[in-house]
Amino acid sequence: MDPWAETDPGVLVLPSGRRVRGRGLRRPLPENAAAPVFGLYLLGRPPCPVPWSTRWVCWPDFRLPTSPGDLHEALRELWQRAETERVEVACAGGTGRTGTALACLAVLDGLPPARAVAFVRGHYRRHAVETRGQVRFVARFGG
């Protein structure tokens, strides 16, 4: 399976080289973009059906996941699958919850939690990880 290209919209290359696409579900898929094999969706209610495998974690907008353990398990699965599959993580807008999840993935990938938010803001979206609570969540994610 071909991985995401580094230049594909929303693709974050983790320190290990694994690639994950982040996006907002309010916008359509990028034109001519390949479909993911697996998607992790971070929303306050279940997402609309799509033709690929998915996992949903309940996470209301501007808040934290209702079950941090479910998120941790889902991110571990996404990180493992990213080694050989096209995977994506998305919320409604693609910035706060998605950015927080991407920062947590960077921690799983070996980046120190203190550097993960800056890494995602520098390589994915400048305003990723929108709230102080989300920043604290990433800081505590590794421990």
Q: Which CATH number fits the domain that encloses residue 123?
A: 3.90.190.10
Whole-prediction pTM: 0.96
Q: Is residue 3 part of a domain?
A: no
Tally the domains of the chain. Answer: 1
CA distances from 46 to 24, 55, 99, 110 (A): 15, 9, 19, 30
Q: What is the pLDDT along the chain (143 residues), one digit of tens a residue?
A: 678 888 899 999 999 999 999 999 998 887 788 899 999 999 999 999 999 999 999 999 989 999 999 999 999 999 999 999 999 999 999 999 999 999 999 999 999 999 999 999 999 999 999 999 999 999 999 76
Q: Which residues pair with 24 in a beta bridge?
A: 91
Q: Is residue 36 part of a domain?
A: yes
- Domain of residue 91 covers 11-141
Q: Is residue 71 part of a domain?
A: yes
